[in-house]
Amino acid sequence: MSDYIRVCDVEKYYGSGSHVTKAVDRVSFQVEKGEFVGVMGASGSGKTTLLNLLATIDQVTAGHIYYGDTDITELSENALSEFRKKYLGFVFQEYNLLDTLTIEENILLALTLQGGRKKEIDEACGQILGLLGIADIREKFPYQVSGGQKQRCACGRAMVNRPRLLLADEPTGALDSHSSQTLLETFTDLNRSMEATILMVTHDAFSASYCGRILFLKDGKIFHELVRGPKDRKVFLQEILDVLSLTGGELTVQPAAEL
Amino acid sequence: MLAKLAYRNMKRSARDYLVYIFTMTVVTALMYAFGSLIFENTLPRYAETAGILEMMTGLATFFIVLIVAWLINYMVRFMLEKRSSEFGIYLLLGMKKKEISRLYMRENLLLGGTAFLFGLALGILLRQVLMAVLFAMMRMEYRLGVSFHPGTLLTTVLCYAGCYLLALLRCRRKFRKMNIHDLMNAKRRNEEIRERGEGIKRLLLPLSVLFIFAFWTVFAVLDNTGEIVLFLVGLVLTIYLFYVGVSAWVICYVRKKGNAVYKGQNLFLLRQFASKVRTMQFTMGTLTALFTIALLGASVALMFSDYENTVLEDKFPFDVQLYSPEVQEDFADEMAVLQEQTKVLEARRYHIYTDQSNQVNAWMLTHLRVWGTMFRKEDGTPDREKIEAELKNGGAYCASDTYMGLSDYNALRAMLGYSAAALGSDEYLIQVKSRLAGEVQGMAQDLRITDRWGEGTLSCAGICADAFSQDGHNGGDYVIVVPDEVLGRMQLYYSELAADIDGTVPADLGERMNKTGQNPDRLGVYAEAELRPNECYGSDMIIAYAEDILVRDNLIPAAKYMLASVIIPLFYIGLVFVCVAVTVLSVQQLSDSAKYKFRYDILAKLGLERVQIHRLIRRQLAAYYLCPAVLGIVISGKMILFMSGRFVEATGVPVSPLSFFIKSILLFFGIYLVYYVVTYISFIRNVDER
C-alpha cells in the first residue's frame, strides 16, 4: 500500500526573534506499510524532534503529516490522544515502564486502556509475551529484570495493540551489545511476522543496519537516503559506515567483532 | 557561599513543601493563641474554676508538641531522603559531611523560622478571635487590644524550636553514618516493591475487619480495666496491620486478575494504591490514630458546647436560689445582702417536705436508664440493701422522698412565668427534669401516696417537665407536688428561698452571701464530712453543679468558663491533629507527583487524554485521603456513639447522639477538602508541567 505515512514539508522552529533554531527544516518523506525505516544523524541533527512530531508529542511549526488520509497536524489535543492510543506504539531509550506494575501488567494496561473483553486481553497479552520471550519473567517488576528484558517488555507494550506505526527512539541506547542484538532481531521479527511498520531513530550504525531504509539527517534536513534492498546486512552496514564517514564520523559504530 | 546555597535551597523547598509550611504556620499560630490562654488569661476568674483552663490548655499543648515534633521529624527526614542524591553530589564535589549537615540545618532553620514568623503574626490575630469568642461565650464585652506576653512568646518559641532541634540532631546523626554511595542510592532504594508472603498477609484484612466488628459489638459492655487495655492494644495493632492487609489484598486481587483489573485505568490505580499503602503502612496507621483522636476530641467538645447552648440556661431558672438544711432557717442574713446589693422584685421562702418513706427514690434508682441494673438483683427485683446504702451515702437523692405544697409550687411557677397548676384534693403531680419526662411515665402506677386523712391514696394528675432547679434545691431530679392539706401528714425536710431580681447582679453576689457564714460550700462539706440526709444533687452525671447558693448571673459564666476549659483544648487538639495528618498525606502525594511525573507521561503516551489523567489523579488522591479517614471514622464511631449516648442520657441535651458524630465528621471533612483541593491543584500542575 503506498502513501501509508506522508511527511510533507515539515518544519519545526524553537525560540523566537533572532534566536530561532531550525530543528527540522522542510523535511518530506514517505513510509510504506510494513517498512522498517531508520533515521540517523549526529546529536542535534533533529532526529528526535522529527520522531516527536510523528509521535504527535510535539506540534509542527509548518507542514503536514498524513497517516493515510488523516492530517495529524490538524487534530485537536483530545483527538490526538485518541489517535496515539489507536495507531501508535512507542519504545524509548529509557524503557518508560511503570515501576509499580509487573512486566505482564505493563502490557496488560495498554490493552485495558483500549477497552476489551477479559479473555481477549489475556490472549493478546500471553501471545505477545511468548513472541518476545519474556513469558517467564511476567510476574517480575521492572527493577528485577535486565535492561534488555525491560526494553522487550516496552516493545511488547507498544506492539500489543497492533499499531499502525511503531516509533523507537534510540531503543538500544541503554543496552549492552548482546541485548541490543536480541532487541533488533525482535524488531525484525515483528516487522516480518506482524507486518509492523517501524520508524527507528538511532545514531548507532550497527542498529541501523537492521533497517530496510535509512534517512540521514543533518542540521534538520535529509541529506542522504540508503535502501538495503536484497543486500546482506554486513554489506549494508559497510554502506552506512561509508555515508557516515562523509559526515565527519560523529556517529558511533559497534566494534567489528560483534558484527 | 553556603548561606547563599542554603537560602536558594530553602526557596526551592518552600515551593515544594508549601503545604507543610502552611501547616507549620497554622500550628504556630494555634500554639501562640492557645498558649496565651495560659499566660495572659484576661477572663474573669472564678474561685472554684481558677486554673482549670490553664491546666487543660497546658495538657493539650503537651500532646500537641508531641505530635508536632513527630511531624517535623517526619518532614525533615523525608526531605533528607528526597534530596540525598543532591547531598551525595556535594560530597562528591569535596564538601565535608559536617558542612553539608550544617547547610541542611541552616536551610531547615530558615524554613522553620519563616513559618514561625508568619505563624506568630497570624497567632496574634488568632488570639484576638479566640478571646472574642471566649468573651462572647461568657457574655462579656471584649476590647480588642494587641498584647505581647513574653511568657507566651517564650513557650511558643521553646516548643517549636525544641521540636525542630530534636529532629535536626537526629538527622545529623544520620548524616554522619551515610556514605556517598548510600546517599546517591537512597532514592532508588525505596522504589523497590517487595512482594513476599502476600497470601498470608492478605488474611490480616479480614482479621482486622473482624476485630473492628468485635470492637463495635463488645465496646459498650467492657467493664474492667484489663479488658479495656486488652481491647485498646488490639485496636492499635488492628490500625497498623489493617494497611498491611489492605495492600496485600489488593496485590493478590491484581495478581489473580480480578474482573476490575480489566476496566480502564483500574490496573494502574490499584497498583499505585497498593504500592503506596505498602511503603507508607506505618505512617497510614499513625494517621488513622490521629484522625480517631481528633474525631473523639471534636465530638466531646461538640457535646459540651451543645450542652452549654441548650441545657445550661435551664439549669438555673431562678435568679437566686438558696438552700438550708435547717428547717427553721429564715435566710435573714442573705436577704439583707440581697436587698442591699440588688433590686429584689419578689422573694419566697418555702419548705420541702418528706413523708419519710423512699418509694419514689427507690423507683428512680431501679427504673431510670442512668442507673441501669445497678440497683436490681439478678432476678430483676429491687436490691433493697444497695438502695438503702445509696440513699444514705450516694447523694443523688435525699434519704427520704421529697414533696412540695401546691401553693409554693404555683408561686414559684408564677415567678418563672409559667401558668399555674391545678390539683384536685386527691391528686398529686410529678415535677421532673425535662430529660426524665419520658422515663417516669410508668411511675404513677407504682406509687402509693396517702391522702390527708391517711385512708385513701392520691392519684396522679400528670407529669410536668418545666425547668425547675432540681439539682438538690426543688428535690433531686423530681419533687412530688401535693395539695397543701396533705402536707399536714408530712415532716418539714429543708428550707429554700427563691428570688426574682430586677436587672443584673454584682459578679460577687454569691460570694458575699456565702460569707454570711451559715452556708459553707456544700461540696467542701461533702469532702470533709458525711452527707446530710436532706442533701442531694440529682442524677446528672457528667456535668453536675450543686451549691447551696445559686446566683444565675454568677453561675452561668462560671459554668461556661469551666466548659470552655474542656471544649477549647479538645478542639485545639482535634484541629492540630487533623492538620498534621492531612499535611503528611499531602506532602507525600505532592513529592510523588514530582518524582513519579514520568508515570503520567507514560500514560499520556499510551493515549490517555489529559482529562482522563486528571480524573485518574482525582481518584487516586481520593483513595489515599479516604483510606485513613474512613478507618478513623469507623473506629471512633463506636466510641463517639457510645459516649454521646451516655452524655445525652445523663445531661438531657435535646439532640440525637448521632448528631455529634456527624457534626465532627463534617467539620473534619471541611479541613480535609481544603487540603485535598490544594493537593489536587498542585499535583496537576506538577504533572502537566513540561
Residue B410 has pLDDT above 90, yes or no: yes
Question: Is the Cβ pair A113, B265 closer than 8 Å?
Answer: yes
Quote the number of domains for chain A. Answer: 1
Judge if B324 and B186 occupy the same domain: no
- Which CATH number goes with the domain that contains A17? 3.40.50.300
Per-residue buried b or exposed e for A89-109, using 16+ beta carbons within 10 Å of the residue's own CB = bbbbbebbbbbbbbbbbbbbb
Are B605 and A141 an interchain contact pair (Cβ–Cβ within 8 Å)? no
Residues of chain B neighbouring A57 (CB-CB closer than 8 A): 605
Query: Hey, which residues does B43 pair with through a beta bridge?
Result: none
Question: Does pTM surpass 0.80?
Answer: no
Q: Do B609 and A112 touch (CB under 8 A)?
A: no
Residues B29 and B119: beta-carbon distance below 8 Å: yes
Would the pLDDT of B531 be above 80?
A: no
Chain B residues within an 8 Å CB radius of A143: 191-193
The mean of the pLDDT values for chain B is 84
Interface test with B, best of A101, A104, A108, A122 (most B CBs within 10 A): A101
Q: Cell numbers 542524591 correspond to what residue?
A: B85
Do B30 and B177 share a domain, yes or no? yes
Closest CA to A209 of A167, A158, A179, A253: A253
Residue B372 backbone zone (phi > 0: left; psi -120 to 50: alpha; other: beta): left
Task: Answer yes or no: is B348 within a domain.
Answer: yes
**pLDDT tens digits for range B174-222:** 777 777 777 776 655 545 567 778 888 889 999 999 998 988 888 877 7
Q: Is residue B68 part of a domain?
A: yes
Q: How far is CA B25 from CA B152, B160, B429, B580, in A?
A: 16, 11, 60, 12
Question: Would you say residue B341 lies in a domain?
Answer: yes
Name residue B127's beta-bridge partners.
none
- The model's pLDDT over B603-649, given as tens digits with 9 standing for 90+, comes to 888 888 888 999 999 999 999 999 999 999 999 998 898 888 888 87
Residue A54: which domain range?
5-258
* ipTM value for the complex: 0.78
Question: C-alpha cell of B580?
Answer: 498534621
The closest of B584, B672, B616 to B280, measured between CA atoms, is B584
Q: Residue B339 domain-assigned?
A: yes
Q: H-helix or E-strand containing A53?
A: helix A47-54
- Residue B614 inside a domain? The answer is no
- Res. B521 pLDDT band, cuts 50 70 90: very low
Tell the burial category of B510 from Cβ atoms under 10 Å away from its Cβ (0-12, 13-18, 19+): buried
Give the per-residue pLDDT at B525.
42
The per-residue pLDDT for A8 is 93
CA B144 to chain centre: 28
Task: Quote the minimal CA–CA distance from A54 to chain B in Å.
Answer: 13
- Using the 3D structure, point to which of B479, B504, B529 is the last residue of a domain: B504
Q: How many helices (H) and strands (E) does chain A have?
A: 8, 10
Q: Is residue B287 part of a domain?
A: no
* Share above pLDDT 70 across residues of chain B, in percent, rounded to a whole number: 92
Instruction: Give the helix/strand (H/E) hosting B114.
Output: helix B97-137
Final residue in a domain of this structure, among B145, B160, B192: B192
Range of the domain at B110: 1-192
What grid cell was written down for B337? 445582702
CA of B251: which chain A residue's CA is closest? A101
Rounded to a whole number of angstroms, the distance from the CA of A218 to the nearest CA of chain B is 27
Residue B344 in this model has a pLDDT that exceeds 50? yes
pLDDT digits (tens, 9 = 90+) for B302-326: 888 888 877 777 888 899 999 888 8
Cβ contact, residue pair B271, A110, below 8 Å: no
CB distance B629 to B671 below 8 Å: no
**pLDDT at site B191:** 53
Nearest CA in chain B to A52: B605
Query: Residue A252's pLDDT is what?
Result: 52
Please write the tens of the pLDDT for every residue from B538-577.
Answer: 887 766 677 788 888 888 887 888 888 888 888 888 888 8
pLDDT at B461: 87
**CB proximity B191 to A under 8 Å:** yes
Q: Is the pLDDT of residue B661 over 70?
A: yes
Residue A175 has a CB neighbour count (10 Å cut-off) of 22
Top residue of B190, B250, B259, B267 to mutate, by most chain A CBs within 10 Å, is: B267
Residue B206 forms part of a structural domain:
no
**Helices (H) then strands (E): counts for chain B:** 24, 8
The verdict on B253 touching A (C-beta cutoff 8 Å) is no
For residue B386, is pLDDT > 60?
yes
Q: Please report, for residues A25, B178, B426, the alpha-carbon distance to residue A11 in angstroms, rounded to integers and kept in the order given.
A: 5, 51, 109
Counted domains in chain B: 2
Q: How many CA atoms lie within 13 A of B116 on its CB side?
A: 20
The closest CB to that of A96, out of B254, B262, B598, belongs to B598
Give chain A's radius of gyration (CA, Å).
Answer: 18
**Among the three residues B450, B475, B504, which one is the final residue of a domain in this structure?**
B504
Spell out, as residue ranges, where chain A has pLDDT lower than 70: 1-3, 247-259
Whether residue B313 lies inside any domain: the answer is no
Buried b (16+ CB within 10 A) or exposed e, B63-90: bbbebbbbbbbbbbebbbbbbbeebbeb
